[in-house]
Amino acid sequence: MEETTKVYYTYDEIHELVRNMAEQIIDAGCAVDFVVSIATGGWIPARILRTFLPYSSDLPMPLFSVGIVNYDSRDRLLSETLIVQELPAGLEVTGKRVLLVDEVSDSGGTFVKAVEYLRAMQPAKLYTALLHLKEQSVFKPDFVGEYAGNNWIVYPWDQKERPASR
């Protein structure tokens, strides 16, 4: 197994990864009724992704989030993946085409929990998209921005200080 390296990303790099994912989704012919981000890491990529996806309404494509945690506040893996924020009550998922988005899949536990949660609501289609997929993840999404090996990904929204340019 390769050594873990911290890799810092800029907003511009994330924007380009998301644009590439959107092209994958469009090229695959996946029509989407709304986007669900896994909070909190999936918020920003989901919002950017929504910008690039076609949507046949005068209003913007709806964007929701489900809060799921797999780590505690000190980045220690929990014994159980927890849903800490559900989708809005009354949101009609049955028969809809849903795109589930997150930023990174380390173990895959968060994505597995989110997919179980959404599938129980019986969407017509459930697509999954991820900025970074780690090699040890048990979950393999439909769309991946970049394969991350065993690297520790540091996103710009998690950086307390600006790192030196790569």
Domain holding 79, by residue range, is 6-158
C-alpha 85/C-alpha 110 separation (Å) is 13
Q: Residue 147 corresponds to which amino acid?
A: Y
Q: What is the pTM of this model?
A: 0.92
CATH number of the domain where residue 34 is located: 3.40.50.2020
Q: Residue 7 corresponds to which amino acid?
A: V
Decide if 104 is inside a domain.
yes
What is the model's pLDDT at position 70?
Answer: 79
Decide if 18 is inside a domain.
yes
What tokens were used for 20? Answer: 């590439």
Helices 11-27 and 43-52 sit at what angle, rounded to 10 degrees?
50
Decide if 99 is inside a domain.
yes
Decide if 1 is inside a domain.
no
What tokens were used for 36? Answer: 């669900």
- Nearest residue to 131 via CA among 114, 116, 146: 146
Residue 164 confidence class, pLDDT cut points 50, 70, 90? low
Summarised one tens digit per residue, pLDDT across range 39-88 is 989 999 999 999 999 998 888 899 999 999 878 889 888 889 999 999 99
Decide if 83 is inside a domain.
yes
Cβ atoms < 10 Å from Cβ of 44: 20
The structural domain count of the chain equals: 1
